[in-house]
Amino acid sequence: MRTLSSCFIVALFAGTVHSASAAQNKKASEPGFLIQTELAYESNSKEIKTGKEFILPESNRTWTPLTTPKDGVTLLGRLTEVKPDTIKMEYILVDTRTDNAVISTPAIIAPLNEKAEIGMNSDKSKVSVSLKAKRTTFWHD
């Protein structure tokens, strides 16, 4: 009887390990957004245009690079609000060539599947940011 109990326990343990391993190998789907951003920034007679397209998980609320860095300039953003037809994104425009690297901190509410734009002008610089977001589902480990 003891041998039978030992075999049962070993079989139960092996089944548990196999189930956990199989669960780790499964991929899961997650809701998110296909994000397209464009940045046009002019400062000290130098114009920088950059952009990026990527998938952002709907649950992501951390600061994320929204453009490819170019000449010390990048646009960071974070998703702050998701509604059925819109998203709200806060931005930080960073220019490492200036004394105060943070140039601007705007926010934008973008209707899904439509391009939304925001622009700011001052004596020293001009900024234009556009955002287009489309709902998607993506797979990950």
Residue 15 has pLDDT above 80, yes or no: no
Residue 13 has pLDDT above 60, yes or no: no
Segment 93-122 mean pLDDT: 93
Residue 24, pLDDT score: 55
**Residues paired with 39 in a beta bridge:** 50, 129
Rg of the chain's alpha carbons, rounded to an integer?
24
Segment 1-14 mean pLDDT: 44
CA angle, 137 as apex, 134 and 110 as ends, to 5°?
20
Which of these ranges, 20-24, 56-60, 101-105, 119-123, has the smallest mean pLDDT? 20-24
β-strand 46-57 against 73-82: which pairing, if any?
unpaired
Which of these ranges, 15-24, 46-55, 67-76, 82-91, has the smallest mean pLDDT? 15-24
How many angstroms separate the CA atoms of 16 and 42, rounded? 60
Residue 78 has pLDDT above 50, yes or no: yes
Structure token digits, residue 74? 């990048």
Residue 22 has pLDDT above 80, yes or no: no
Residue 7, pLDDT score: 44
